[in-house]
Amino acid sequence: MPEAFDPSGVAVRNGNFFGFPYTPEEAEIVILSLPWDVTTSYKDGASQAPAAVLDASYQLDFFSPYRDEAWKTKIATLPFDPSWKEANISLRRDAKAVIDALEKGENAGTLKAKLDKINAESAKLHSEFESIANKWLAQGKKVLTLGGDHSVSFGPIHALAKLRQSLGQKFSVLHIDAHADLRVAYEGFEHSHASIMHHVALMDAVDSLVQVGLRDVSPEEHSVIEMNPKLTAHFDWNLRRQSAKGTSWQEQCKKIVSKLGKEVYLSVDIDGLDPKYCPSTGTPVPGGLETWELFTLLEEVEASGRTFIGADLVEVAPSKDSEWDANVGARILFQLCQFLRQR
């Protein structure tokens, strides 16, 4: 860290998360911001998260209980193409027309042209996101994706999966979410935010997908979980039942971690937490994890000898009336970076 950086001083608004001075070439961790929420099925706004979380990140203090001298974690901010936001606005308008028609019970076939356009353009953008992630993974960096809706995780995870497969290696995915995200082309959108884990489970390099906090799941998704040996789900209602019977969270974490391989990709949908932390997220659901439960789980992953090799934080949606969501998002982002930092 350059001598001019004072971790106890006023953050410099330099366009980098937390005001850190590192370039991507110097960094250990690069943050890829993807302002994208085209297929959001209920309430949009997650596309505005990267800018809002960046702004909130300048107000953080830099002590962390998870790493010594956390302010020395080499974190860099990748630039993003403004055309992504422009494409998001245009395609979101078309997606709303499709969703509105479906919700009215209308024949969405009349909107096939819009749906085809959304699917084609989304595939193109996700391929671009994958290429960017691949560039930095090839240089030995750890990529932390900041959404955006959960669909943005596809490109970076796919890039990691292809790299690992080329090396004959596998990894696990630890998925924190209120939703299973195992739907196939939900609402006709092939890259729906509700389909991301369906795509992840199909990746050969992913040997297990462990889901935590699920509490809003379709019957079809529940059947998929029961039938697919790759999948292990820890439903929120079962976690709370165990707590009520006297099983500590630490004990439950050990059980969760036991299904993970040695290397772990972490995918955090903010709505996996209690919605008091994220009231503006697109699909809030009662229940969910406390922040201390999330971080205790991540500590248990490390204590078991496993290593985090990548991560994402998605579905943060800023509110016009409150900075709470962005402030929570910025603090979780900072701590996720600490868990990605090599010990």
Summary count for the chain: helices (H), strands (E): 10, 8
Tell me the pLDDT tens digit for each residue of 144-164. 999 999 999 999 999 999 999
- Whether 176 and 274 have beta carbons less than 8 Å apart is answered as no
Residue 102 has what pLDDT? Answer: 85
Residue 103 has what pLDDT? Answer: 84
Q: What's the fold here for domain 17-340?
A: Arginase; Chain A (3.40.800)
Calculate mean pLDDT across residues 168-178: 98
Paired strand residues for 314: 269
Calculate mean pLDDT across residues 198-213: 98
Residue 62 has what pLDDT? Answer: 94
Residue labelled with tokens 């395609």: 91
Residue 138 has what pLDDT? Answer: 97
pLDDT higher than threshold 60 for residue 116: yes
The pLDDT-based confidence of 189 (bands split at 50, 70, 90) is confident
| Helix (H) / strand (E) containing 308 | strand 307-314
Residue 188 has what pLDDT? Answer: 84
CA distance 47 to 75: 22
CA distance 230 to 225: 8
Calculate mean pLDDT across residues 105-115: 79
pLDDT higher than threshold 70 for residue 108: no
pLDDT higher than threshold 60 for residue 3: no
CA dihedral 84, 79, 52, 12 (to 10 degrees): -160
| Helix (H) / strand (E) containing 232 | strand 231-235
Burial class (CB in 10 A: 0-12, 13-18, 19+), 25: exposed
- Hey, what long-range contacts does 111-115 have (CB within 8 A, 24 or more apart)? 115/188, 115/189
The pLDDT-based confidence of 136 (bands split at 50, 70, 90) is very high
Sorted by where each begins, the domain ranges of the chain are 17-340
Paired strand residues for 231: 209
- Residues sharing a CB contact under 8 Å with residue 161, sequence separation 6 or more, in sequence order: 171, 203, 204, 205, 206
The pLDDT-based confidence of 37 (bands split at 50, 70, 90) is very high
Residue 220 has what pLDDT? Answer: 96
pLDDT higher than threshold 90 for residue 190: no
pLDDT higher than threshold 90 for residue 112: no
Q: In the numeric block, which tokens belong to residue 96?
A: 């709303």
List phi, psi (to 5°) of 179: -120, 150
- Residues sharing a CB contact under 8 Å with residue 65, sequence separation 6 or more, in sequence order: none
Calculate mean pLDDT across residues 74-92: 92
Least reliable range by pLDDT among 23-37, 85-99, 271-285:
85-99
Residue labelled with tokens 């890829």: 32
Q: What are the CA-CA distances from residue 72 to residues 163, 193, 342 (Å)?
A: 28, 34, 12
Tell me the pLDDT tens digit for each residue of 40-68. 888 888 999 999 999 999 999 999 999 99
Residue 4 has what pLDDT? Answer: 67
Q: What are the CA-CA distances from residue 237 to residues 214, 233, 287 (Å)?
A: 8, 11, 8
pLDDT higher than threshold 70 for residue 294: yes
DSSP readout, 204-221? TTEEEEEEEEE----HHH
Residue labelled with tokens 């290696």: 169
Q: In the numeric block, which tokens belong to residue 173?
A: 């995915």
pLDDT higher than threshold 90 for residue 26: yes
pTM above 0.85, yes or no: yes
Rounded to the nearest integer, the mean pLDDT of the chain is 94
